[in-house]
C-alpha cells in the first residue's frame, strides 16, 4: 500500500513483485546448478539453460499465486496453497517418478499444469535428451502461463490497491 502512494501504478507494483520472484528463483537455481555441476551430474552444456527454464517455470506459478494472494484479507489462505496445490503438484509432476506410471486421468491432469512442463524441460536440458520441438512446446506453454498469470496479477493488484 505504501508503493501505491507514489506515482507507481498497480500494474508496476505487480510487475516489480513478479520480477523480484524471478530474481530469487534465478539465484536459487544458479546455486543449485553449481552444486549439481560440482558433482558431475550435468550431462550437457545445455544444462546451463536449465536456470532460465526454471525461472520461467517459477514465473508461470508466480503470477497466478500473486493474483490469488492479492485477493486475500489475511495470510491464512496461503497455507492451503502449500498443502493442497504445491504438494500434490510436486508429487505428481514427474519429478520423482514418470507421469506415465500414473492412471491415465492423473497423467493427463499432470501434463496440464506448468510444473510438468518445467520438469520435462529442465530434465531434458540437463540430460541432453530434449528435442527442439518438445523444447518449444514446453517453453510456449510456460510463457502462456506466465503471461496470463502476470496479466491476472496486475488486474487483481489494481482492484485491490486502487480505491
Mean pLDDT of all residues belonging to the chain: 90
Kindly report, residue by residue over 64-81, the tens digit of the pLDDT.
999 999 888 888 788 888
Nearest to 141 by CA among 56, 25, 43, 17: 56
- Cβ–Cβ under 8 Å, residues 99 and 118: no
C-alpha span between 163 and 127 (Å, rounded): 51
User: What would you report as the CA-atom Rg of the chain, rounded to the nearest whole angstrom?
Assistant: 17
pLDDT of residue 81: 87
Q: How many residues does the chain have?
A: 163
Rounded distance, CA 83 to CA 7, Å?
37
Rounded to whole angstroms, the Cα distance separating 93 from 114 reads 9
Query: Model confidence at 163, in pLDDT bands (50, 70, 90)?
Result: low
Residues 6+ apart with CB under 8 A from 73: none
pLDDT band at 19 (very low <50, low <70, confident <90, very high): very high
Amino acid at each position: 500500500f505504501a508503493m501505491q502512494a507514489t506515482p507507481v501504478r498497480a500494474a508496476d507494483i505487480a510487475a516489480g513483485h513478479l520480477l523480484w520472484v524471478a530474481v530469487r528463483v534465478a539465484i536459487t537455481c544458479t546455486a543449485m546448478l553449481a552444486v549439481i555441476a560440482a558433482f558431475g551430474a550435468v550431462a550437457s552444456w545445455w544444462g546451463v539453460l536449465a536456470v532460465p527454464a526454471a525461472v520461467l517455470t517459477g514465473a508461470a506459478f508466480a503470477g497466478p499465486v500473486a493474483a490469488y494472494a492479492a485477493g486475500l484479507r489475511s495470510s491464512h489462505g496461503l497455507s492451503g496453497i502449500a498443502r493442497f496445490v504445491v504438494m500434490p503438484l510436486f508429487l505428481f509432476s514427474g519429478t520423482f517418478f514418470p507421469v506415465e506410471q500414473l492412471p491415465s486421468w492423473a497423467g493427463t491432469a499432470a501434463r496440464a499444469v506448468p510444473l510438468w512442463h518445467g520438469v520435462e524441460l529442465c530434465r531434458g536440458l540437463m540430460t541432453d535428451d530434449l528435442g527442439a520441438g518438445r523444447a518449444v512446446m514446453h517453453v510456449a506453454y510456460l510463457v502462456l502461463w506466465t503471461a496470463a498469470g502476470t496479466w491476472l496479477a496486475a488486474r487483481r493488484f489494481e482492484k485491490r490497491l486502487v480505491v
